[in-house]
Amino acid sequence: MEMRATRPAVYLGLDVGDARIGVAISRSGVISDTRETIHRVGRKQTLNAIEKVVVEEGVTVAVLGLPLLEGGTEGEQAEKTRAFARSLQRRLPHLKICFQDERHSSNHAREIIGGRVGGKGRVDQVAAAVILQEWLDSPAREQLTEKINGDQSPSGNQGASEQL
């Protein structure tokens, strides 16, 4: 029997906003780390910047924060995020895209940063790391990992996370 070496998944966290996108990475699948902020100047340039990160880092899974309303329903920002995810999926069809509830990620990021300097771009990066970390810690991640590794067992309820 031939043994294949499986390459560990590299995860990308994105906090997608109208002006900026916070970017975080997890190479270990255990902890996320901030990477950069992408300033949105146009769809093509934004997708180019994300594609560059995906290629440089060897990303296999992208987790986008889904900005749900307080009641858990989707509003205008959630639809914008889903539209962005569809554009990203067309550009990078090999990339697995998942969503994570991000209702409180920016507030959590501000708490983490405290009074440290960094501005809104730093908040976006930390929010992306919070989103990715919440997804990494969720059962949805385990279900996706099983699917990536070839286990076709039913995935069940994914809670606050879902896949595109």
CATH code (residue 98): 3.30.420.140
- What tens digit of pLDDT does each residue of 90-119 get? 999 999 999 999 987 777 777 887 766 567
The token duo for 33 is 């780390």
Residue 158 belongs to a domain? no
Please state the length of the chain: 164
134, 11 contact by CB (below 8 A)? no
- Per-residue pLDDT at 31: 94
pLDDT at 159: 38
Q: Is residue 162 part of a domain?
A: no
Q: What is the CA radius of gyration of the chain?
A: 16
For residue 157, being part of any structural domain is answered with no
The answer to whether residue 99 sits within a structural domain is yes
d(CA 60, CA 67): 23
pLDDT at 150 over 50: no
pTM of model > 0.85: no
Total domain count for the chain?
1
Full residue range of the structural domain in which residue 17 is found: 11-30+38-70+77-112+120-148
Q: How far is CA 120 from CA 63, 116, 125, in A?
A: 20, 11, 9
DSSP state of 41: S
Weakest mean pLDDT among 13-17, 104-108, 151-155: 151-155
